[in-house]
């Protein structure tokens, strides 16, 4: 183990004090379970929790002067809201340790979380003691990837790489259009959502298909999902 924390961030508390942890997860039962598990450890302590992004930011603002580890539950398929929260927190609090939590998370979601700015990922399927150890490692500034398959690290890096290449390929506007298109809306609905004319949207889509080398909306969304550009909501 090197002496330099790899992320440059750490929540090392003075000896005798416990590492403060903030929980963000949509489900109250999950938060309650995590709180019990974490508070049972002597060196960790839950100091705040939130069920949605806005509350999370409020909690963090209150805690601004205390170093903490923020645990963010990704939810199913790393929904946009959580990813945006991670990006926002990373920007406002550059030295805060952020760890994403998932349940059987897929490579795409983990990649998106890392790209958005988390310092690590822990799958909730981990053994409780491994789970706590991973939080501790993260608090010391180590990158953690716990509870994922051994082969995953390469695939996660590859997805992040593809994301960057796609990003270079598509403009921000095109990515916005594609992200909304991935929800299954028609061109007209996309236009309404983004406040532009329908013809503008079809022009964007044509250019997107061209750049991605595809000829159908479905193929474009699949290419974009594979590149971690968008996450797609599952069938309701």
Partner 1 sequence: MSPTTRVLTFGGHPAINGVVRIACASSPSLELVAETEDPQEIVRVAAEATPDVIIFDADVREADPALLISQLQAVVPSAAVLALSDRSDGRSVLEILRSGASGYLVKADGLKVLGEAVASAASGRPVLDPALEQAAIEELGRFARRQREASAVATALTSRERDVLALLADGATARQIGRRLGISPRTVETHVANVYRKLGARTRVQAIGRAVTMGLVSLG
**93-to-19, 55, 138, 220 alpha-carbon distances in Å:** 17, 16, 16, 35
* 145 sits in which H/E element: strand 144-146
Least distance CB 72 / partner 1 (angstroms): 15
Token pair belonging to 173: 């506007």
Least distance CB 94 / partner 1 (angstroms): 11
Least distance CB 117 / partner 1 (angstroms): 6
Q: Which of 63, 73, 44 is nearest to 138 (CA)?
A: 44
Q: How many residues bind partner 1 (CB under 8 A)?
A: 29
Q: Does residue 149 interact with partner 1 by CB under 8 A?
A: yes
Residue number, 13 or 145, with CB nearest to partner 1:
145
Phi, psi of 40 (to 5 degrees): -70, -20
Residue number, 35 or 90, with CB nearest to partner 1:
90
SS3 for 185?
Answer: coil
Angle between helices 107-116 and 80-92 (to 10 degrees): 30
Least distance CB 2 / partner 1 (angstroms): 8
Angle between helices 128-139 and 28-40 (to 10 degrees): 80
User: Which parts of 188-217 interact with partner 1 (CB under 8 A)?
Assistant: none
Least distance CB 4 / partner 1 (angstroms): 10
Q: Does residue 85 interact with partner 1 by CB under 8 A?
A: no
DSSP 6-73: TTS---PPPTTSPEEEEEE-S-HHHHHHHHHHHHHSTTEEEEEEESSHHHHHHHHHHTTTS--EEEEE
Tell me the per-residue interface mask from 160 to 179 with partner 1, x by CB under 8 A, - otherwise: xx-xxx-xx--xx-------
Tell me the per-residue interface mask from 105 to 144 with partner 1, x by CB under 8 A, - otherwise: ---------xxxx-xx---------------------xxx
Binding residue (CB under 8 A) for partner 1 from 27, 32, 36, 153 = 153
Residue number, 49 or 174, with CB nearest to partner 1:
174
Q: Which residues bind partner 1 (CB under 8 A)?
A: 6-7, 114-117, 119-120, 142-145, 149-151, 153-154, 156-158, 160-161, 163-165, 167-168, 171-172
């Amino acid at each position: 183990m090197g002496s330099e924390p790899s992320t440059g961030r750490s929540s090392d508390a003075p000896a005798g004090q416990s590492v403060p942890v903030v929980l963000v997860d949509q489900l109250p039962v999950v938060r309650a379970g995590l709180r019990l598990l974490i508070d049972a450890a002597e060196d960790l302590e839950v100091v705040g929790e939130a069920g949605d992004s806005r509350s999370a930011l409020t909690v963090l603002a209150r805690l601004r002067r205390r170093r903490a580890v923020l645990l963010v539950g990704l939810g199913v398929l790393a929904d946009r809201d959580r990813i945006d929260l991670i990006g926002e927190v990373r920007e406002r609090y550059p030295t805060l340790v952020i760890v994403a939590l998932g349940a059987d998370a897929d490579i795409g979601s983990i990649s998106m979380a890392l790209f958005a700015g988390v310092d690590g990922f822990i799958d909730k399927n981990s053994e409780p003691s491994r789970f706590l150890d991973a939080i501790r490692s993260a608090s010391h500034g180590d990158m953690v990837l716990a509870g994922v398959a051994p082969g995953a690290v390469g695939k996660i890096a590859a997805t992040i790489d593809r994301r960057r290449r796609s990003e270079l390929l598509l403009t921000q506007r095109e990515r916005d259009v594609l992200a909304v298109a991935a929800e299954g809306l028609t061109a007209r609905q996309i236009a309404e959502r983004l406040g532009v004319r329908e013809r503008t949207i079809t022009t964007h889509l044509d250019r997107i298909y061209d750049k991605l080398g595809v000829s159908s909306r479905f193929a474009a969304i699949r290419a974009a999902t594979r590149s971690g550009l968008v996450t797609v909501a599952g069938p309701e």
